[in-house]
Amino acid sequence: MPAVEFRLAHESEQDEAGGKRKVLAEIGAVAFDSQARLMAGAKLGVQAKFQGFLAAKSKRSQRLVLHVTNIEFLEGAGDASTP
């Protein structure tokens, strides 16, 4: 079964305690089968929506990662290399 490990970067502004908070985060992720094939063909920096669940990376590693079950690439969103 195809598998790919990658990192996701998130940037947004959220409401918290009556104010705005800038959120910057990065998390490890893993995808299998058809989702792994999609990620293997994706350009670095492409914007997408990811769905999945948080769980340990494996039975031997308790490091928390996002296990991706669905990827939706955003049309017209460009990528990180686009000015």
What single string gives the DSSP state of each residue in 18-49?
Answer: TEEEEEEEEEEEEEEHHHHHHHHTSPTT--EE
For residue 47, give Cα distances in angstroms to 2, 20, 39, 64, 67: 22, 23, 12, 22, 18
What pLDDT digit, counting tens, does each position of 71-82 carry?
Answer: 999 976 544 433
pTM over 0.75: yes
- Please provide the average confidence, as pLDDT, over all residues in the chain: 89
**Are 2 and 39 contacting, i.e. CB atoms less than 8 angstroms apart?**
no
**Chain center to CA of 14:** 18
Q: Which CATH architecture is the domain 3-13+21-73 placed in?
A: Beta Barrel (2.40)
Domain boundaries, the chain: 3-13+21-73
Residue 33: predicted pLDDT: 96
What residue type is assigned to position 52 of the chain? G
